[in-house]
C-alpha cells in the first residue's frame, strides 16, 4: 500500500493550487488541510476497486484525489466552532485554529469545487457519459442526502437517545456515502462492471463504510488523543450518540467483526483482483488508530 | 422577463429537495436560502445567452438553477459571523439568524453539491462532453481562482488601500467569475458558438460582471437598506475598499456607463437574438436596487 499512498500524495501535491498562487493564504491553507495527514482510507479503497476493473493508475489517482479533497473539506467544516469546535486534527491544529474561521470556511468551499473540477477536466474514465456519472455520484454522496445531510442529523442528535436504526441512517449518510462513492468511482475508472458485480461491490462498500464508523466509535472510547491524532472521547462527552453508547463496547466490537465478514462475503467470486479490497476490510476493522 | 423569472422560480422549487424530506431542517433552510428572493440576474443572463444559440428552455432552467444555487450558497456563507456578519439578506433574516450557524454552513455546502449534481444528471446540453465542460466551467468559477478566491482577497483587503487594478482583480473573481459562467453555461445549452463569437460573448459577460459590482458599490453608497433588501453602507463602514472609495462616486458612475457601452459593443453583429442580453446590460447599470 505504500506505493499507492505515495502516488496519492504526489497527485494531491500536484493537483492542489500552488501555495504561492494568488490568493496565497487560501491556497496555502487548502494544502495544509489536505496534505500530509490522514489514513487515506478513501483513496486506498478507490485504488483497490480500480484493480477489479483494470483501471489505469493515472486515472485512479485523479479520482482518489477528488474524493480525498471532498473528505478533507468536510473535516475542515466539521471542526469549525459552530460545528464540533475541534482544535486538533490529524495531529495538527485544525485549519480555523492555524489560520482563522473565514479561511477555514473558504478552504472547504474551494476544496469541494476543486474535487468536481478534477472529475470534469481530467480524463478519469473511458467516455464522457461515465465521467458525468462519476460527477453525479460524488455530488449525491456529498450533498444533503449524503455527507452534509448526515452531519445535519448528527448535530440534531446531540443530547438525544437514538435508536440503532436512526444511528445507522446518520452514519450511512455522514461517512458511508463518501466511502461508497470512493469505491464506485475507483471501479468506474476502468472497464464497466456487470449489474450484479456492481451491486456486490456496492454491498462491500456499504459494509466497510459502516464498519469504519463503528470502529471509530470503539477507538474513540478506548484510545488516547495522541494515538488518534484528534481529540479522543469527545463524542461521548458531548452527549453524541455512538455505537458504543447505544449498544455497548462489546456489542460494537462484535458488530464491526460481523460487517467485516459481510464485506468479505460480498467479494466472493471476484477472486485475485479483489485481494486489496479484502485487505482493506481487514485493515478498517482491525486498525488501532 | 416575468415569464423567465416565473420559470426559474418553478425550476428551483422543483429541483431543491422537498422541505419535508429527511433531514427536514436542512432542506427547509436550503429552500429558505434560495427561493423567493434576489434579482435572479444570473438566471436571466443564462436564459438571454441561450437565445443566441437556440437553447431549449427545459435545458436553460436547469443550468440557470445550478448557477443560482451556487450564488445562493455563496451569500449564505458570506453572511456568516466569521465572514461579513450580516443579519439581513433579500429583505429577510440571513440563514444563520433564522436557523443557526451550523445549519448555514451545511446549507451552503449542500447547495454547492446540488448545483453540480444538476449539471451532471440532467440533460442540459447536446452531448456529454459539453456537459463536462459546463461542470468544469462552474467549478472553476466557484473555486479558489474564482468566487471563493475573490472572497478571500476581499477579507484580506479590509482596512487596506487597494489600487484600482487590485480592486478589479478581486471583483473579477468574487462576482465576475460566476456571472461569466452563467453566460457561458446558457450558451452551451444550445448550438455550439464559433470561437470568435464565444470570445465576444465572454467579453460581454466580463463587462456586465464588472459593471454589476461597480453599480452595487454606487447603490451601497447612495441607497437605504429598505430599498436594497440588505444592510446598506456596510462596506464603507467596515473599511472595505469599494469603487466609490477608490475612485469617487462620479467616476464610479462613469465607469459603469463605459462598461455598459463596451458590453453593447461586444454584442455587435449578433443582431436580434442578442436583444435580451442588451436589455440586461441596461438593467444591470440603470437599476436602482
pLDDT digits (tens, 9 = 90+) for A183-234: 999 999 999 999 899 999 999 999 999 999 999 999 988 876 556 566 656 7
- Residue B189's Cβ-count burial label (10 Å; 0-12, 13-18, 19+) is buried
Percent of chain A with pLDDT over 70: 96
Percent of chain B with pLDDT over 70: 96
Task: Write out chain B residues lying below 8 Å of A167, CB-based.
Answer: none
Residue identified by cell 448545483 is B115
Task: Write out chain A residues lying below 8 Å of B100, CB-based.
Answer: 82
| pLDDT for the residue B160 | 83
Residues B120, A136: C-beta atoms closer than 8 Å: yes
Of B21, B106, B142, the CB nearest to A151: B106
How many angstroms separate the CA of residue A105 from the nearest CA in chain B? Answer: 8
Instruction: Provide CB contacts within 8 A for B275, sequence distance 6+.
Output: B51
For residue B7, give the nearest of B272, B15, B289 by alpha carbon.
B15
Which of B113, B135, B157, B238 would best serve as a mutation to test chain A binding (most A beta carbons within 10 A)?
B113
Residue A211: how many other CB atoms lie within 10 Å: 24
Question: pLDDT grade, residue B140 (50/70/90)?
Answer: very high
Q: Which segment of A27-41, A118-132, A155-169, A227-241 scores lowest on mean pLDDT?
A: A227-241
Residue with the bigger pLDDT between A90 and A278: it is A278
The pTM of this model reads 0.95
Task: Write out chain A residues lying below 8 Å of B123, CB-based.
Answer: none
What residue of A is the nearest CA neighbor of B103?
A152
- State the average pLDDT over residues B136-159: 95
Could you give phi then psi for residue A240, rounded to 5 degrees?
-80, 130
pLDDT at A48 over 80: yes
What residue of B is the nearest CA neighbor of A77?
B105
Question: pLDDT grade, residue B224 (50/70/90)?
Answer: low
Residues B105, A77: C-beta atoms closer than 8 Å: yes
Rg (CA), chain A: 18
| pLDDT for the residue A224 | 61
Residues A135, B143: C-beta atoms closer than 8 Å: no
Q: What is Dmax (Cα atoms) for chain A? A: 52
What residue of B is the nearest CA neighbor of A79?
B102
How many angstroms separate the CA of residue A131 from the nearest CA in chain B? Answer: 8
Terminal alpha carbon distance of chain A: 17
B193 vs B200: CA distance, rounded Å: 10
Residues B119, A112: C-beta atoms closer than 8 Å: no
Residue identified by cell 470512493 is A182
For residue B25, give the nearest of B149, B150, B135, B110 by alpha carbon.
B110
A134 vs A184: CA distance, rounded Å: 8
What residue of B is the nearest CA neighbor of A142?
B113
A74 vs B81: CA distance, rounded Å: 19
For residue B202, give the nearest of B227, B185, B225 by alpha carbon.
B185
How many angstroms separate the CA of residue A152 from the nearest CA in chain B? Answer: 7
Task: Write out chain A residues lying below 8 Å of B178, CB-based.
Answer: none
A84 vs A229: CA distance, rounded Å: 16
Of A113, A136, A149, the CB nearest to B23: A149
Coil, helix or strand at residue B93: strand
Residues B113, A112: C-beta atoms closer than 8 Å: yes
Percent of chain A with pLDDT over 90: 82
| pLDDT for the residue A268 | 95
Q: How many CB pairs under 8 A join A and B?
A: 166
| The CATH number of domain A2-286, selected from 1.10.940.10, 1.10.600.10, 3.40.50.1000, 3.40.50.150 | 1.10.600.10
Q: Please, are residues A26 and A106 in contact by the beta-carbon 8 Å criterion? A: yes
Of A25, A110, A144, the CB nearest to B110: A144
* Domain positions in chain A: 2-286
Task: Write out chain B residues lying below 8 Å of A114, CB-based.
Answer: 139, 143-144
How many angstroms separate the CA of residue A264 from the nearest CA in chain B? Answer: 31
| pLDDT for the residue A183 | 98
Residue with the bigger pLDDT between B158 and B87: it is B87
Residues A117, B129: C-beta atoms closer than 8 Å: no
Residues A152, B25: C-beta atoms closer than 8 Å: yes
Residues A139, B117: C-beta atoms closer than 8 Å: yes
Amino acid at each position: 500500500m505504500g506505493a499507492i499512498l505515495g502516488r496519492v500524495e504526489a497527485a494531491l501535491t500536484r493537483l492542489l493550487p500552488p501555495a504561492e498562487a494568488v490568493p496565497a493564504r487560501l491556497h496555502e491553507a487548502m494544502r495544509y488541510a489536505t496534505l500530509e495527514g490522514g489514513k487515506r482510507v478513501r483513496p486506498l479503497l478507490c485504488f483497490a476497486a480500480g484493480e477489479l476493473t483494470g483501471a489505469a493508475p493515472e486515472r485512479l489517482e485523479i479520482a482518489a484525489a477528488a474524493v480525498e479533497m471532498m473528505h478533507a473539506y468536510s473535516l475542515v467544516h466539521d471542526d469549525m466552532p459552530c460545528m464540533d469546535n475541534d482544535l486538533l486534527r490529524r495531529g495538527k491544529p485544525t485549519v480555523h485554529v492555524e489560520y482563522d474561521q473565514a479561511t477555514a470556511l473558504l478552504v472547504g468551499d474551494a476544496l469541494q469545487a476543486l474535487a468536481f473540477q478534477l472529475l470534469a477536466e481530467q480524463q478519469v474514465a473511458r467516455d464522457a457519459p461515465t465521467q458525468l456519472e462519476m460527477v453525479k455520484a460524488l455530488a449525491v454522496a456529498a450533498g444533503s442526502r449524503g455527507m452534509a445531510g448526515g452531519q445535519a442529523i448528527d448535530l440534531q442528535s446531540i443530547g438525544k437517545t437514538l435508536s440503532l436504526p436512526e444511528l445507522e441512517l446518520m452514519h450511512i449518510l455522514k461517512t458511508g456515502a463518501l466511502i461508497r462513492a470512493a469505491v464506485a468511482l475507483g471501479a468506474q475508472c476502468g472497464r464497466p462492471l456487470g449489474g450484479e458485480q456492481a451491486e456486490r461491490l456496492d454491498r462491500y462498500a456499504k459494509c466497510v463504510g459502516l464498519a469504519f464508523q463503528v470502529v471509530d466509535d470503539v477507538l474513540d472510547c478506548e484510545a488516547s488523543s495522541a494515538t488518534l491524532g484528534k481529540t479522543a472521547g469527545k463524542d461521548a462527552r458531548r452527549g453524541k450518540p455512538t455505537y458504543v453508547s447505544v449498544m455497548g463496547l462489546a456489542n460494537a466490537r462484535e458488530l464491526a467483526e460481523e460487517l467485516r465478514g459481510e464485506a468479505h462475503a460480498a467479494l466472493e467470486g471476484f477472486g485475485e483482483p479483489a485481494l486489496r479490497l479484502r485487505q482493506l476490510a481487514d485493515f478498517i476493522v482491525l486498525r488501532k488508530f
